[in-house]
Structure 1
Amino acid sequence: MADNNSNHRKVDPATRSDSNNDVAADGAVEAPVAAKDKPSGVAAILAKLGLEPTVLILQFKGSLPPIIGIAMYQSDAVSKQFATLGYLIPIISVLGLAILPRGKFLQNMVLNVFAICLGGAVAMLALWSAVQARIHTTPAGQSPIDPATKSIRYNSSQSAVCGVWLFFGIWFVNMCRAKFPSFNVPVILFSILINVASTFGTRMPTVVYARNFVQQLLTAMLTGMALATVVSLFVIPISSRMVVTKEFQGAIGLMRKIVGLQSKYLVGLEELDMFTVATRQAKDEAEEERERSKRRHKKGKKGEKDGKTETPLSREEATAKELREVVAQCRELMGKIQMDITFAKREVAWGKLSARELGELAKLIRNTTIPIVGMTSIMDIFQRVAERRGWNTTAADPEVVAEKNLEKTVWNEVMKRMHEPFQLLSEAIDEGLQHAALQLEITPRPKAAKKSGKDADVEARGDTLQPGDVGFTKVVDEKLEKFRALKGVALRAWVKERALLRGEITEVSEEELRERDQAQLYVLLYMERLMYASAQGMKDLVNFSDMQVADGTMSKNRLIFPSQRRLRKWFLSIFDGDKSASEDSPDMIETGANIVYVGDGYNRKKDPEHLPPANAWERFGNGLRKFSRFFGSQESVFGFRVACATMTIGIIALLEHTQVFFVEQRLVWAMIMVAIGMTMTSGQSIFGFFCRVGGTLMAMIFCYIIWYIVDEKTPGVIVFLWFSIFCDFYLLVKFPRFIQACMIMMVTQVMIIGYELQVRKVGVMAATATGQPYYATYKLAPYRVATVAGGCFVAFIWTIFPSPMTDRTWLRRDLSATLYLLANYFSVINSTMQSQFDDTGGNPNVRGTPASHLQSIRRKIFGKVMLLLPSMRQHADWQKWEPTIGGKFPRATYEDIIKRSTRIMSYLTYMSYTMNHPLEHHEHGAPDTGKKAVVTIQPNQSQLLDQQQPSSEYATPSNEAPTADPDSHRAWINALRNVLKEISPSHHNIVSTLTLLSNALLSGQSLPPFLPLPRPYEMTRALLRLESKKSSPSSSSSIDEADMSPLVLVDSRTGRPVDERQANPGMGLGGHHILDPDNMEQPGYAEFAVLEICSTLICDDLEGLVKDVGKLVGVVDFSYTVDGRSGSTLMGDGHERGKGKVD
């Protein structure tokens, strides 16, 4: 089977089980099908447990290496070779993680082998130096054997040397583990080796004895890794390409489901109140969040709560809820694709698509997903409108209800007109995605259609082309043409309903009505632009699939090797996670002669206490300062904590009177538990403590069953041990959150059963020669539980002592970093937009140009934010395990900040996508005529306005002739350029506010009482001011300056705008000007609407962030109130203000 083919059973992604593991990322590309009969009997049980073929394969693969290690030790040759260290072979094979995809496993295997070899070298050096210390401190002629006890004499110098090496080794490797997450498992293996060698090395009399011990230990660990490697590569091999292919399958299936649900949702809005649906859905989500925090209540209270009657969701509300859930699944899956595609491109594979083609496929799927997911933001838009106009309350104000009903009527009519074009679009996207998936063999063809194209009887099907058939692209193109022919229908309906609405509303001013009209127009253009972008993304994917079939790429498999450049970047990525170079960037083709000056955002972070070095001596000084930063870093402190925790137990092995106790009670495994269980944060440590102790208790129970249910017979014990490990891997695959408990459970079972079988093989006398007494299983299992619990407890103590690093602190720091990255992301987008309007960026596909630099930085920031978002969710979950000392943790506020930050990132992504993916051709039907119009773009115009430029090399050029008016086109472009320059200060205020909020969260410093933020639709106001100055310079004086200001003061305590003069926000929106609907055929008008909608949504969430952060850090406010009268010297109301900082 080809690596990039996937012939597994199809699974509906909406109902599949947890897919957080690396392999079981099943998903379907099939559209939702009719409900089937529910399975019964064994099939129902398997479906309930989620025992799919992929899960069973992973369970089988994972259980093989330790069982092979246990079984092979029953051979006389193997037991003679490894003696009393044979039980390490199955333990190391478990830690080898044979279930990982090939790319990830090979990286892990190389690092594990390197760590084992490095640990062996360090252990040999430590033991050699310890033996030398014994030799140099032992009196001449004295035997190392004590004749009275017949044991090795105690030597304090040897023990001290072993202790020093142990402390240094544990500190160094754990510092590396904190710095480089890829070293997690290798550090555990290194720690096992150095712990065992250093504690047993205190009693080694000669170098020969030490060398034999280290050689035996090293061989046992390498043998365990070899077992894991053989099973991973040769027993049902699973490549990273197979994983990515299944993720592609799931992403395509989720996109098809999103389009179907979106169509169903819009149909429901043809009759219902969309504002009520959106508001009800938002309230339900908030209620769900509150319910999650109250799940630990007593059952009695739960019963009382269950007795309450709740209003059932309507069909549209249920659809909206399901749509949000599927969108969340799609975003999570796209994040996994972004991480896994790197490994898929790096590994040696037997498949069809090359590494570059695989990366291009991932890019095309991502470009299709963004606008499809973006269309679902219409729910958020309706919710914001309802909130701003007070329609989200149950108050029955007749005027408010009448106003709401009139606007609802407009949107109902618009949704009716949008039904037919969206239905055509959804059918085209659904069939196009299915066709591309079949062409690229992402999904298997139906059994009836598995014949080749030559043998397929098309005539027998009535000349009906199906997805996957040759020429089906024409069917998709025909539907897209029908969709384009209906363009402008919704806009014409809006114009008609708007005219009727104006005659019925008398309470609202003309200016405010025009502002609302403009906002409605933007929403329609926003939806239309995303609909066209979705169709274009799908068409690019279909063209890519047809191209791969046409050039023979999909005709046969071939051996694919990664390039040297890719392997070099793979190696560097292990040690540098922030490498920002793009693997898809082409080589330098051409260079310009212009000198480009870049801002500070391109440079490294500055040192506020030192200027940049100006000479060799200052550069040498900077190098020396790195040592102090290195030893004072958080990673070094964490390594020091782990070393102290290890020595807390290890000191027992270094003292004369407790050395025998350490060996007899097997406390070395308590030290190993410290290395495995030590974490940087207290919440994760507490969670891990309960997981490890619980896993060990379960392992003890399973060991009793395994050992005694078969009357201690070796064959039966091995079989039952395999079945137990097989079941343990089910928990690991299906519930990856409890991976710590699962790993400890398996390691403990293998350790106990393996030791008992080892003693049975080599004999009790040989087993006790090391000083460890023999215990039967019913005694050994509790000893293991005690040592594991003791080690985990010591690790927990050193996590919180002398001062804890809490998950709440990490969550706050991650939020600060996220807001700072969002500020950078917005700044990069703003610079990209400016360079596109000014035509100074150059070609983004040519390395060295400003546009290429901006694109690289944009991708780097996006990748960092995508890594921070799951990190914040993890810390938000782990902080629940931390005990609250003092006031309660403001969990709801932090969760709201996370939610708003995630939404801002989504809106920025839509803005970036809109600017960097222009449509193939830009045709707007005028709302009054419905005629098509296209425009002529000069070759040197910006990418945003160059609508004739395809969005990718797979796009089909438009065949329509340009017919637009050049003068009108030039005026529109110049207006956009001028308005961008005028609103630059307001855009900078968004960056400034995000940066200020980031610093406030990081430092805990209070916010200023008022923050300037851009008003909603500020670009629109700037265009109106520009038009007003040209048409009527004298009238500008009559316009309120507060309304025309690009900024608005926002109260840091409430997050609400402050407007003392109560200026009419709609003033200046009257008359015919450049923003009239008649100009919708101008290039960039729809893109302008997308930017306005996204900017407005960002500003809304930014106001909420100001309010939330103000609650956390307080506000600089020294106002006071006397007898209800404000004595504040600051602007605003003095109500509920205290003296000094407001908390």
Structure 2
Amino acid sequence: MADSSPGHQDDIMPKRANMGGDEGEKHGKPNVSQAPPPQPQPKPGLIKGLVTKLGLDTPTLIAMFKGALAPVVGLAIYQSDAVAQEFSTFGYLVAVIAVLSLSALPRGKFVQTLILNLLFLGIGSAGALLILWSSLQARLHTETVPAAYNSSQSAVSAVWLFANIWIVNTLRAKYPNLNIPSIVYSIMTNILCTFSPQITSNAAFEAIVRRLLTAMLTGFAIATAVCLLVFPVPSRAVSTAQIGGLLRLLQGAVKQEKAYLQSLEREDMFAVPADICAATHLSTDSESASDSSSVDKGSKSKKKHKKHKVQPEPKSTAEAKAIKETMFDLRLLTSKVYVDMPFAKREIAWAKLSSKDLSTILELCRGVVVPVHGIGTVIDIFQRLAEKRGWITDSETPLDVLAEKMDDKRVWNEVMKQLHEPFEKLSTAISEGLQHAGMLLEILPRPKPPKNNKNNTDGSPALGDVESRGGLIQPGDPGFEEVLKKKIQCFRDIRSSILHTWAKEKGLLTSGSSLERVNSISFPMAARHHRDQEQLYVLLYIETLMEAAGDGVLRFVQFADSKVADGTMSSKRLMVPKPKVLRKWIASIFSDEDKSQENDADLFERGMAIIYMGDSFASKRDPEHLPPTNAWQRAGNALRAVSKFFSSEESAFGFRCACATLTIGIVAFLENTHVFFQEQRLVWAMVIIAIGMTQTSGQSIFGFLCRVLGTLVAVVLTLITWYIVDEKVPGIFVFLYLFQALSLYFLLKFPQLTPAVVLCMITQVLIIGYELQVVKIGIAASESTGQPFYPIYELAPYRLAIVAAGCLVAFFWTIFPSPVTERTWLRRDLAVTLYLLANYFSVINGTLKSKLNGTGGDRNIKGTPAHQLAKHRTRLFGKLMLLLPSLKQHADFQKWEPTVGGKFPRDLYEDIILRASRINSYLTLLSYTIGGGGKGTTGMTLTDSLDAASKSALPSRCDGANARAWRDALAVLLADISPTQHSIISTLTLLSNALQSGHSIPPHLKVPRPYELTRQLETLCAGIPSVEEEDSSSRSQSESDSSSINNIAPATTKDKHSLLDTRNMTQAGYAEFAVLQVCSTLVCDDLEGLVESVSKLVGVVDFSYCVTSSSASTSGASIPGGGSSSSSSSSNDLEKGKMD
């Protein structure tokens, strides 16, 4: 049902609906080779194929024909004599408001928008009465002889119009969820203020306000009836459909990752695809100069490569490309779920799952999304290794480098062959587990059994017949949880054989030996052994995330089974939101603290996220004033807040809107032109300005072209509607309904075209509505307001000209006197993203410290530090998932901005966006590893297994003594790595401030290096017992309350060995340490690239002292710039930072 929400249109689900797990593997057959060959699917017919290609599924069709119903009903009721007499010449407004209400919205969003619309309509009506009364008083106190025009009345109306448009658009810019209410307010204000100079009595302006208010309320009433009564779409249905799409995407992602890992059994995993080369500037490393002009040298470097006859860069495999696309869709859909979930939790519903259950489901889904997404990062890891080791080969690559690369490739090919069978089984288990949980929670549909035969068409038993299937338990059957546990435990058991293969390939293990008897090699820092250690970390990283994905699915299945067992899924009940939820919603509408799109039911939302960054980013200290200490100083601050408000960017946007409105509105207030204004209906050009004004010039150029084109399409459609049925009213309504539904299709499938589509629908309603009004009440009554009658073939071009004029004025005032470009917003959004990443990393560090120090408490108990940290991590995750797609939207819109001056460094911005997205992914994996897998779960960390060992779903891979040893060792090392942690946070914050302000970064910036945990742990012995003592130590574990940190000492005894000894690589602590090490290394690598890219954008402060020598052996000294910003010093400074 997500397709029924145009504001948050979900195009992923229709496209990915069939991307679920492999149908041949879905029903729990461990031996894939014995599965019957897939039957060839019949080719769909022409009509069915076209419908599928256009995405015309059931939710889309319902939304199209439901959204087109309200405006047609609004025009149809005008054919009644009573309605025509009541509304007179304002009948078309009923249909216009019905279009703006957008009855196709889900119920929760529609009700929120309706409440705000009614609030602003009531305020606008009261304000209109004040405007008309005050302007009339100006007329009465200055009029000597009755006249049709009064300059004082017009001047007062113009001033009121300017002030109202300024204020309402300032609020519109500050609170995006007030977009539609602001347009409704502007329509009422524009119509009444421009009509004000013709009013000569109190009774006249009271009658016109009452008539206008009644018409607009009727439009809202019709839209409300259509939304709530005709195919009602609850917000819960939207969220449920989105979660169902998320589960299908996860099934598809696991299937694609399986195909990719299987392809590595024979292919070169270190081949760097061309698209990755371009994104990370690998092809221009040797020639990327240190100034910003290096962006323009990309094409030159490619030509040079061609001259040297370098072998063509290998293209991404089909599997890798599919994974990248699915990962992007997964992030996008996850952000949409986070946006729409609050609406589902707020609305009154007749349902089975409570709002708390919905939150838990979302957290459990996140517990699967994170490790599955982490497995997809293996592509990036192999490419980083190739770059780091110089394995981007060409025809001139030395033979020893090629031999080294081929040796590692051979090892990885062998390891991937060993990984084939376990991941085959695990991917089947994950897909089946998601299917099972989705069916029990009624998120995914159950397969329909055959009607007359217990067997399927291929001869296999039906799903519901367990006995005929020989006791084979499939998704949806009781007892499936135990089957899933066995499959995951089977994967855990096979892990040791994979490590056995790797150790044998490395010569650490002889044939027939067990891992416990592996040679005691602790990987000294020799280059080869260091690479072997990295290889082991990557292997453990892959295995650990696979296991974590299985555990996350198991928790999801356990939750679904618990809801069936406690009777939650047996019957529906009335779900009423708690007063606390409603209070938070009301407070959040006008609060900066929750300025994200989760409260935004905006019609014109196109993915532009506005995120609350926190007090440290938004409100800066005033260097000229200390905090107030008494009432007088606080009163002075309140006075300063007024000037701050009028100097804000939101107020500047409101001022632009007011100027644009008066550019056309002034015609209504001048004596020589006010009649022309009324006759030519120029008020609708002012309405177009209210709809079409945007804050950035990129949107304005794009919007200007789309709105003019949409109006042109509307003119053509209205002429067809009017003449194709020979001006017969019933036929006109039929074709109007079809064309309105057709317009809604583009709104649903292409949300970026929303303003143009809405304008197209309104133009159709205006033209057809006016002509039907003339047919109903006659030409004389229609001309009573001073507007002459035009036949439709003249009225339609006039409407096109008026809309084009309004769009042109809106475009002019968007770029004049100085444009706020899309590129400026892109830079600011990037600054916000880096700030949120720094905050995210800081919270992760706080979580790690609290866990290792034992001060966090239980994260499932409200009020504990662990619960607060987990809540904060989840909030930051949601904001980042919402903001990152917005960066792509801004990058797309900047293409429409004309470039004046130097070329826009798009490659650098895209590189920063790419690296920020990667850092977010790696930090999410760190957060998952440290903080646990989801709400109400114990997570995948060894510290969680210590805190809640009794709640573990599966047997732990390490006993309490070993886990405590790892925790105590990490606690000792935490103080040693604190400088690196602080450096990462400081660097991200510094880069954020540099992008926000445009100031250069300081020289000699020390780039954070990865955690040196490996070298530190190699010198420690954390009391890991030897193989012979394992049983005795486990028996004596209960005698000691805790493991003391003082037990960690240099490895000198024979009975104890280093934590990183290869004999420990089967322990959970070792594997999770590998995940932390890999993620932190990837974060630091991308952070280094971020520093380089940002320095090319903003430059580096240069205080260097240069000494030059001439040919005459004379020397001169100069200090260039004394603090100037120089991009050319970027590379040198970065290198100095590395050496420091």
Which TM-score band (shorter chain)? Answer: 0.7 to 0.9
1:398 correspondence with 2:399: yes
Query: Aligned-pair distance for 1:288?
Result: 15
- Residue among 469, 483, 488 paired with 1:461: 469
More moved, 700-709 vs 33-42: 33-42
Residue 273 of structure 1 corresponds to 268
**Partner residue of 2:489?**
481
Q: Residue 390 of structure 2 aligns to a residue in which SS? A: coil
Distance 2:1013 2:627 in 1: 39
Residue 979 of structure 2 corresponds to which residue in structure 1?
985
Partner residue, 1:363: 363
Aligned residue in 1 for 2:1100: 1115
Match of 1:31 in 2: 21
Assess if the C-alpha contact under 8 Å between 1:406 and 1:501 holds in 2: no
Q: Secondary structure at the match of 1:1116?
A: strand
1:211 to 198, 203, 206: 206
The answer to whether the Cα contact below 8 Å between 1:646 and 1:674 also exists between their aligned partners in 2 is yes
Residue 189 (1) aligns with residue 184 (2): yes
SS at match of 1:578: helix
Aligned residue for 2:943, secondary structure, equals: coil
1:71 and 1:254 mapped to 2: Cα distance? Answer: 44
Q: Which residue of 2 aligns with 1:421?
A: 422
Distance 1:839 1:185, change over 3 A: same
Distance 1:289-1:746 versus aligned 2 partners, 3 A rule: farther
How is 1:144-543 mapped onto 2 (pairs within 5 angstroms)? 144=146, 146=147, 153-276=148-271, 278-279=272-273, 282-283=276-277, 317-395=317-395, 396-448=397-449, 456-499=464-507, 511-543=526-558
Aligned-partner Cα distance in 1 for 2:188–2:801: 21
Aligned to 2:848: 833
User: C-alpha separation between the residues in 2 aligned to 1:1026 and 1:1124?
Assistant: 58
Which residue matches 1:1038? Answer: none
Q: Is the contact made by 2:235 and 2:343 (CA closer than 8 Å) also made in structure 1? A: yes
Q: Following the alignment from structure 1 to structure 2, what is the Cα–Cα distance between the partners of residues 738 and 604?
A: 34
The amino acid of 2:165's aligned partner reads I
Stretch deviating more after TM superposition (443-452 or 775-784): 443-452
Of residues 218-227 and 1073-1082 in structure 1, the stretch that sits farther from structure 2 once superposed is: 1073-1082
For residue 42 of structure 1, what is the aligned residue in structure 2? Answer: 47
Q: Which residue of 2 aligns with 1:1021?
A: 1015
Offset, 1:969: 5.4
Kept after mapping to 2: 8 A contact 1:986/1:1013:
no
- CA distance in 2 between partners of 1:106 and 1:609 (Å): 46
Range 106-115 or range 77-86, more displaced = 106-115
Contact 2:129–2:206, Cα closer than 8 Å, also in 1: yes
2:715 matched to 1:700?
yes
Question: Cα 1:565–1:1004, aligned 2, differ >3 Å: closer, same or farther?
Answer: same
Aligned residue number for residue 1012 of structure 1 = 1006
Residues 1036-1070 of structure 1: per-residue CA shift (max 9 Å, x gap): xxxxxxxxxxxxxxxxxxxxxxxxxxxxxxxxxxx
Q: Provide, for residues 834-882 of structure 1, a one-character-per-residue CA deviation record: whole Å limited to 9, x for no partner.
A: 1211112233334443333333332333333233223222211111111
Alpha-carbon distance change, 577 to 98 in structure 1, aligned in 2, over 3 angstroms: farther
Give the AA of the match of 2:763: T
Q: 1:945 aligns to what?
A: 943
Question: How far apart are the structure 1 equivalents of 2:1014 and 2:77?
Answer: 76
Residue number among 1089, 1095, 1102 corresponding to 1:1104 in the alignment: 1089
**Does 2:674 align with 1:659?**
yes
Q: Measure the CA separation in 2 of the matches of 1:600 and 1:851.
A: 22
Quote the Cα distance in structure 1 between the aligned partners of 2:359 and 2:707. Answer: 39
SS at match of 2:1000: coil
The one-letter amino acid of 2:440's match is: Q
The separation in 1 between residues aligned to 2:334 and 2:775, in whole angstroms, is 52
The more displaced of 457-466 and 100-109 is 457-466
Q: Structure 1 pair 1138/906, CA: closer, same or farther in 2 (3 Å)?
A: closer
User: Which string of whole-angstrom CA distances, capped at 9 and with x for unpartnered residues, describes residues 85-143 of structure 1?
Assistant: 0011111101111111111111111111112121111111111111111112223xx4x
User: Residues 944 and 1138 (structure 1 numbering): CA distance in 2 closer, same or farther, change over 3 Å?
Assistant: closer
Give yes or no for contact 2:366–2:934 (8 Å, CA) kept in 1: no
Cα pair distance change 1:569/1:22, threshold 3 Å: farther
| Structure 2 contact 411–502 (Cα < 8 Å) conserved | yes
Match of 1:149 in 2: none
Q: Which residue of 2 aligns with 1:556?
A: 571
1:995 aligned to 2:984? no
The answer to whether residue 96 in structure 2 is matched with residue 98 in structure 1 is no
Aligned to 2:57: 52
- Matched residues in 1 for 2:865 and 2:496: separation? 37
**Whole-angstrom CA distance in 1 between matches of 2:767 and 2:629:** 63
CA–CA distance in structure 2, aligned partners of residues 751 and 690 of structure 1: 21
Give, in angstroms, the shift of residue 573 of structure 1. Answer: 2.0
Contact kept? 1:680, 1:799, Cα under 8 Å: yes
Report how far residue 788 of structure 1 moved: 0.7
Are residue 874 (structure 1) and residue 905 (structure 2) matched?
no
Q: TM-score scaled by structure 1?
A: 0.83
User: What's 1:733 paired with?
Assistant: 748
CA distance in 2, matches of 1:668, 1:515: 74
**Displacement after TM superposition at 1:974 (Å):** 2.9
- 2:1074 paired with 1:1084: no
Contact 2:850 2:856 in 1 (8 A): yes
* Aligned-partner Cα distance in 2 for 1:494–1:1124: 61
How far did 1:718 drift? 1.6
Asked if the contact 1:997/1:1106 (under 8 Å) is kept, the reply is yes
- Identity among equivalent positions (%) equals 51
In the other structure, the counterpart of 1:902 is 917
Contact 2:548 2:940 in 1 (8 A): no
CA shift digits 1:455-507 (9 cap, x unpaired) = 954222322222111222222122122122212222121111112899xxxxx
Structure 1 runs not aligned, ≥5 long: 1-5, 12-17, 147-152, 295-309, 503-507, 584-598, 923-936, 1029-1070, 1131-1135
CA deviations 1:808-835 (Å, max 9, x no partner) are 1111111111111111211121122112
Unaligned runs of 5+ in 2: 24-37, 285-294, 296-310, 455-460, 511-522, 599-613, 1023-1055, 1120-1124, 1133-1140
Distance 1:629 1:615, change over 3 A: same
Tell me the distance in 2 between the aligned counterparts of 1:663 and 1:565.
Answer: 50
The answer to whether the 8 Å contact 2:439/2:445 transfers is: yes
- Letter aligned with residue 921 of structure 2: S
Residue aligning to 2:1048: none
Q: Matches of residues 788-827 of structure 1 in structure 2 within 5 Å? A: 788-827=803-842
Counterpart selection for 2:115 from 82, 86, 110? 110
Matched, 1:1093 2:1078: yes
CA distance in 2 between counterparts of 1:943 and 1:32 reads 30
Alpha-carbon distance in structure 2 between the residues aligned to 1:404 and 1:24: 42
Of the three residues 868, 873, 888, the one matched with 2:903 is 888
What do residues 906-949 of structure 1 show as CA deviations (whole Å, max 9, x unaligned)? 111110011111799x9xxxxxxxxxxxxxx9xxx997523245
Check conservation: 2:710, 2:757, Cα contact below 8 A: yes
Could you report, residue by residue, the CA deviation over 1:575-599 in whole angstroms, capped at 9, with x for unpaired residues? 225349999xxxxxxxxxxxxxxx9
Checking the alignment, whether the CA contact within 8 Å between 1:1001 and 1:1113 is kept in structure 2 is yes
Q: Superposition RMSD on alpha carbons, in Å?
A: 3.7
> Shift of residue 670 of structure 1?
0.7
Q: How does 1:598-617 map to 2 (within 5 A)?
A: 606-617=621-632
What is the letter of the counterpart of residue 359 of structure 1? S
Q: Note the 1:566-585 alignment, pairs <5 A.
A: 566-576=581-591, 578-579=593-594
**Contact 2:693-2:814 within 8 A present in 1 as well:** yes
Output one character per residue of 1:310-336: Cα deviation in whole Å (capped at 9) or x when no partner.
98988x811111111111111111111
Instruction: Please tell me the residue identity of whatever aligns with 1:390.
Output: G
Contact 1:174 1:639 in 2 (8 A): yes
Q: Report the residue type matching 2:986 in the other structure.
A: S
Q: What CA distance in whole angstroms lies between the structure 2 residues aligned with 1:242 and 1:463?
A: 35
CA distance in 1, matches of 2:778, 2:635: 62
Q: Is the 8 A contact 1:94 1:747 kept in 2?
A: yes
Aligned counterparts of 2:759 and 2:51: Cα–Cα separation in 1: 26
